[in-house]
Amino acid sequence: MNAADIIILLPLIVISAAAVIVMMTIAFYRSHVLTSVLTIAGLAAAFIALLVISPMAPRSVTTVLIMDGYALFYIGLVIAAAIAVSALSFDYLKGRACNQDEYYLLLLLATLGACVLAASSHFVSFFLGLEILSVSLYALIAYLRVSERGNEAGLKYLVLAGASSAFLLFGMALVYARFGTMELAQVAQNSGAEKDLMLFTGLALIIVGAGFKLAAVPFHMWTSDVYEGAPAPVTAFVATVSKGAVFALLLRYFTVVDIRNYTALFAIFTIIAISSMFTGNLLALMQNNIKRILAYSSIAHMGYLLVAFLASGPLAINAVSFYLAAYFVTTLGAFGIITILSGKDRDADELNDYCGMAWQRPWLTGIFTAMLLSLAGIPLTAGFLGKFYVVTAGANSALWPLVIILVITSAIGLYYYLRIIIVLYEQPEHEGPGPMLQHVTLTGHFVMTALAVMLIWIGVYPSPIISIIQAAVAGLK
């Protein structure tokens, strides 16, 4: 390791340093404002560091981490999402009967874990990143200890994530036993196209571990409960950062291997994709809780992403990256609305809480509508182009059955998005603000507006971001 290695790791180091600084500050002086400002400043500094070091990429730092354009893109995405989540969390936590400060510490650590995953080129960093992320999330999900559902969600996540980590480790051990190496690139090289039961078992177990994080069917059982129980900003974080980082890693590995050489693995992923699309969209139809609806919708979205993932090839990598960027903006926006409207005793997650919102908060309703339409994939929004891109990738690789299932299930999905939207615009039965319509601060308005602008910008003029993605992932072949 030399100076250049240290410099290129600057974004990760800045986040770690920010975590330490926040921890020290809390020890001496508790102040919600100070902590949150430090956190956001730290993340912003990391983002700037990212831009500064980007000309140096690609560069492998030892065999464990690789800082190439692909990693930088995903780290940037993760940091940006973390900034949005911290900003949203401030109003959410303000005035609650708990220590607000440690929340930011955990958030920084979780972000660090996700960044490590995005840059991982080795089983060790894979596992380390995943654990840093998961352990922080256990605590974050159960952060509001007065909330029963929060505790239940935290415990559920802990048990299942622990089990899935065990699967993951066992899978890694098998692969290591077979090849004697833990570097992703070497594993990929050795594996070739030979039929090898040990390798296959190892990879399958790794897929179980990753599938759990992605909440793909059949590893999705935790999703709706955790989404519902966790504080809304944490849900946003789980839905975006944690899934995005794992998907980035998965894509990196299987791009090297080219999944289409492995019939069995390909079949497994196909089944996972199809069942995710169906299960997510069908179960979402039956929910009345917005967080649960979004939980199932996120399962469906992972299914769509897997279609592009299975398409493999340069177009597919672009499609996945674009889709994830669009999905980040959209999901943060949707959960952001829930966050800023949530009251102190419970989150604004019942459908009824939103009845007639349009006549009291036209601006926020407009943004929420845009986010939901984006999830549904309607034009002028980022989600439309994302879905278009994914279908394009699928069509390019002639995965017709998958593409047609994607189309059918996304048409089913429309139903529940429209259902929420109609509730927003209904004439409320009683006058005056609903119980859950909290006062929204300027910060909340600002973050939401920024997200909405990004949503429309990506949806209307995507050419710059496509160029960025193309440049970033070009090295990944």
Stretch that binds other proteins, among 135-143, 144-152, 239-247, 386-394 (CB under 8 A): 386-394
Q: Report the candidate in 368, 446, 469 with the shortest Cα–Cα distance to residue 40.
A: 446
Instruction: Name which of 164 and 369 has its Cβ closer to other proteins.
Output: 369
Q: How far is the CB of 189 from other proteins (least distance, A)?
A: 30
Instruction: Name which of 230 and 473 has its Cβ closer to other proteins.
Output: 473
Q: How far is the CB of 384 from other proteins (least distance, A)?
A: 7
What is the C-alpha to C-alpha distance for residues 162 and 209, in angstroms, rounded to an integer? 10
Return the residues of window 443-462 that contact other proteins according to CB under 8 A. Answer: 461-462
Q: How far is the CB of 373 from other proteins (least distance, A)?
A: 7
Q: Does 173 bind other proteins (CB under 8 A)?
A: no
Token reading at 197: 């039961």
- Rounded to 5°, the CA angle 353-359-363 comes to 95
Instruction: Name which of 208 and 310 has its Cβ closer to other proteins.
Output: 310
Q: Which residues are paired to 350 by β-bridges?
A: 289
CA atoms within 13 A on the CB side of 7: 12
Q: Which one of residues 34, 256, 380, 474 is an interface residue with other proteins (CB under 8 A)?
A: 380
Q: Does 371 bind other proteins (CB under 8 A)?
A: no
Stretch that binds other proteins, among 151-159, 235-243, 252-260, 379-387 (CB under 8 A): 379-387
Q: How far is the CB of 445 from other proteins (least distance, A)?
A: 17
Terminal Cα distance for the chain, rounded: 25
Instruction: Name which of 1 and 422 has its Cβ closer to other proteins.
Output: 422
Instruction: Name which of 165 and 365 has its Cβ closer to other proteins.
Output: 365
Instruction: Name which of 265 and 414 has its Cβ closer to other proteins.
Output: 414
Q: Does 407 bind other proteins (CB under 8 A)?
A: yes
What is the C-alpha to C-alpha distance for residues 240 and 326, in angstroms, rounded to an integer? 10
Dihedral sign for Cα 224, 226, 229, 233, please.
negative
Instruction: Name which of 29 and 415 has its Cβ closer to other proteins.
Output: 415
Rg (CA), the chain: 21
Q: Which one of residues 159, 163, 411, 453 is an interface residue with other proteins (CB under 8 A)?
A: 411
Q: Which one of residues 410, 454, 458, 472 is an interface residue with other proteins (CB under 8 A)?
A: 410
Q: Which one of residues 55, 422, 431, 432 is an interface residue with other proteins (CB under 8 A)?
A: 422
Q: Report the candidate in 190, 194, 192, 163 with the shortest Cα–Cα distance to residue 177.
A: 190
Instruction: Name which of 173 and 466 has its Cβ closer to other proteins.
Output: 466
Q: Does 395 bind other proteins (CB under 8 A)?
A: yes
Instruction: Name which of 9 and 399 has its Cβ closer to other proteins.
Output: 399
Query: What x-and-dash track marks residues 230-269 binding other proteins by CB under 8 A?
Result: ----------------------------------------
Q: Which one of residues 221, 343, 415, 435 is an interface residue with other proteins (CB under 8 A)?
A: 415
Q: Which amino acid is at 173?
A: A
Q: Does 468 bind other proteins (CB under 8 A)?
A: no
The residue ranges that bind other proteins (CB under 8 A) are: 358, 362, 373, 378-380, 384, 388, 391-392, 395-396, 403-404, 407-408, 410-411, 414-415, 418, 422, 425, 427, 461-463, 466-467, 470
